[in-house]
A = this chain, B = another copy of it.
Amino acid sequence: MTNSKRTAFFISDGTGITSEALGMSLLSRFENFEFNRITLPYVDSVEKATETVLQINEATEREGAKAIIFDTIVDDKIRSIISASNSFMIDVFSAFLGPLEKELGQQPSDRVGRVRITENRGYEYRIDAVNYALDNDDGARTRYYNEADVILIGVSRSGKTPTCLYLAMQYGIKAANYPLTDDDIEDQKLPASIRNYKQKLFGLTIEPDRLALIRNERRPNSRYASTKQCNYEVEEVELMYRRERIPFMNTTHYSVEEIATRIMVQANIQRRC
């Protein structure tokens, strides 16, 4: 029996981030369905598991079609409670642990699969990198550019700050950013404070219409947000990138995750954690 509406649950005894990411990717392939998405992290006790089953059964009944479950629950007992619900369950870990066990010739441990931060240098890299991004945001300081793994440049509102923060948070990469202003553009050359770090520069650009839309939310009907100004700035910085041979990408149609990972590939920046 099929129905064009379903509830999808992403359930975990951890953060739920993995089951959600995987489940969303899979469900996005079924375009005619509308999924009501519910993420339930930290389902780590019999009580919570029992409550969850009630919630699942309710959804199945309401929609007249089985709720879809994606779970990354490590604890066998919790998982078996959930599996007794009236649902279609995709048991992410179980599907792959058996084959991996066979290939590696070792039984998997039943510990929650995560690295505690005290054992994990990655945590410090990430926090350091986030602090670096915050301190070196928007051209605020330029004297620590020697420490940067990458320096993003671009016009105001082209996506520099969120990208720097994502590179820091996810990969421990130290990313500074420097806004190209009207003055820089008129000068037709790289500003003095970034000229010496040319090999670290990466340019962002964006479709002028989208830029105007974003700027209008910030400062409605300003010269800054006008189509004319946005067209001018974008055209000039793209010319500058080409003239100076600075690698660049157009951020218009990409998420922050995609912008960050594409920059890493294109500029060959290595993750720190």
Is the pair B25, A18 in contact by a Cβ cutoff of 8 Å? yes
Is the pair A25, B113 in contact by a Cβ cutoff of 8 Å? yes
CB distance from A11 to the nearest CB of B (A): 13
Is the pair A26, B265 in contact by a Cβ cutoff of 8 Å? no
- Cα distance, A104 to B27, chains bound together (Å): 10
Is the pair B130, A162 in contact by a Cβ cutoff of 8 Å? yes
Q: Mark A83-94 against chain B: 1 for CB-CB distance below 8 A, else 0.
A: 000001010110
Shortest Cβ distance from A23 into B: residue: B96
Q: Any chain B CB within 8 A of the CB of A72?
A: yes
Q: A72, A100, A116, A256: which has the most chain B beta carbons within 10 Å?
A: A100
- Cα distance, A2 to B104, chains bound together (Å): 6
Residues of the B chain whose Cβ atoms lie less than 8 Å from the Cβ of A99 = 88, 90
- Cα distance, A96 to B110, chains bound together (Å): 23
7 smallest beta-carbon distances between A and B, as pairs: A2-B105, A29-B108, A28-B113, A15-B261, A18-B21, A25-B113, A88-B103
Shortest Cβ distance from A165 into B: residue: B165
* Residue in B113, B166, B253, B265 whose CB lies within 8 Å of A169: B166
Q: Any chain B CB within 8 A of the CB of A192?
A: no
**Copies of the protein in its oligomer:** 2
User: Which residues of A, 86-129, contact B by the 8 Å Cβ criterion?
Assistant: 88, 90, 92-93, 95-97, 99-100, 103-106, 108-111, 113-118, 120, 123, 126-127
Interface residues on A, range: 35 or more
Q: Any chain B CB within 8 A of the CB of A190?
A: no
Q: Any chain B CB within 8 A of the CB of A22?
A: yes
* Residue in B106, B117, B253 whose CB lies within 8 Å of A32: B106
Residues of the B chain whose Cβ atoms lie less than 8 Å from the Cβ of A15 = 257-258, 261
Is the pair A2, B106 in contact by a Cβ cutoff of 8 Å? yes
Q: Mark A30-54 against chain B: 1 for CB-CB distance below 8 A, else 0.
A: 1111000001011000000000000
Residues of the B chain whose Cβ atoms lie less than 8 Å from the Cβ of A32 = 106
Q: Any chain B CB within 8 A of the CB of A255?
A: yes
Is the pair A134, B117 in contact by a Cβ cutoff of 8 Å? no
Q: Any chain B CB within 8 A of the CB of A254?
A: yes
User: Which residues of A, 127-160, contact B by the 8 Å Cβ criterion?
Assistant: 127, 130-131, 134, 137
Q: Mark A2-32 against chain B: 1 for CB-CB distance below 8 A, else 0.
A: 1000100000001111100110111111111
Is the pair B117, A254 in contact by a Cβ cutoff of 8 Å? yes
Q: Any chain B CB within 8 A of the CB of A219?
A: no
- Contact (A66, B103) CB under 8 Å given A29-B111, A96-B26: yes
Is the pair A93, B169 in contact by a Cβ cutoff of 8 Å? no
